[in-house]
Amino acid sequence: MKDFIELTELLKAIADQRRLQIIDLLSCGKMCVCDITEQLDLSQPNISHHLKILKNAGLIVATKRGRWVDYQLNRDKLEYLQESLGDVIAECDAEECGITRLNCEEKC
């Protein structure tokens, strides 16, 4: 059985243009808030809000460096998201999926 609850939470976390842009930026490597702020031309509190959502979903990891915090992608969680979404949209026949189809034409 697929874990639709976790998948839904991950999809909610990335269902925002700015958060997708942050993920795209972090695909290049670690960045601090000031780097992301400069690239996206958003305020630091706005970026921090988006980073918090991504971090709470487990999609990014924060590492303290002195008084700075670096953010990077959690590759394991992103691979899980990719695989899970692929499983949901992958084509399969009813028998593979364990679905019994009713013959609606006969019933209607």
For the chain, the DSSP string reads ---HHHHHHHHHHH-SHHHHHHHHHHTTS-EEHHHHHHHHT--HHHHHHHHHHHHHTTSEEEEEETTEEEEEE-HHHHHHHHHHHHHHHS---HHHHT-PPP-HHHH-
Going by pLDDT thresholds of 50, 70 and 90, the confidence category of residue 95 is low
In this predicted model, what pLDDT tens digit does every residue of 3-57 receive, in sequence order?
899 999 999 999 999 999 999 999 999 999 999 999 999 999 999 999 999 999 9
Query: What does residue 71 show for φ and ψ, rounded to 5 degrees?
Result: -115, 140
Domains in the chain and their CATH numbers? 4-107 (1.10.10.10)
In this predicted model, what pLDDT tens digit does every residue of 67-79 receive, in sequence order?
999 999 999 999 9
Q: What pLDDT is recorded for position 50?
A: 98
Q: What pLDDT is recorded for position 107?
A: 59
The single residue listed with the structure tokens 């609606």 is 104
Q: What pLDDT is recorded for position 91?
A: 77
Give this prediction's pTM.
0.84
The single residue listed with the structure tokens 């700015």 is 18
